Structure 1
């Protein structure tokens, strides 16, 4: 299942890359891509684990960029 998340307030492309790499390492995430320009994280996750993986991605983002606002778009 595809999840799209808006991360408003990313300070740099390096932070976006760190968040992307951290999310990719989560068990159950098939793929992840975070664009600094659009500030959107697109994740392909295992069905049935969407909510848990979104919360895990939120924790990864908070460690790297605590000021960024994390909004699930769909």
Structure 2
């Protein structure tokens, strides 16, 4: 399953890179990409684990940048 999220209040490209690396190491994650300029997180993960992976990703994001918030992407 592939979904797109927005990371609100993402402050720097270095933080985005750290987040991407940490989320990519989660079990069940096939691919992850965070683009600092657009503040988008694109994640491809196993269907059965997806909800838990997103919860863990949110915790990782908060740990690296406490003011950042993971939100569903809206066009």
TM-score class, shorter = over 0.9
Q: How many residues align?
A: 74
**What's the offset of the Cα at 1:7?**
0.2
Runs of 4+ in 1 over 4 A off after TM superposition: none
In structure 1, the gaps of 5 or more residues are none
Instruction: Find the aligned partners of 1:29 and 1:69 in 2 and give their Cα distance.
Output: 20
TM-score, normalised to structure 2's length?
Answer: 0.93
Residue number in structure 1 paired with 2:52: 52
Alignment of 1:36-47 (within 5 A): 36-47=36-47
RMSD of the TM alignment (CA)?
A: 1.2
TM-score, normalised to structure 1's length?
Answer: 0.94
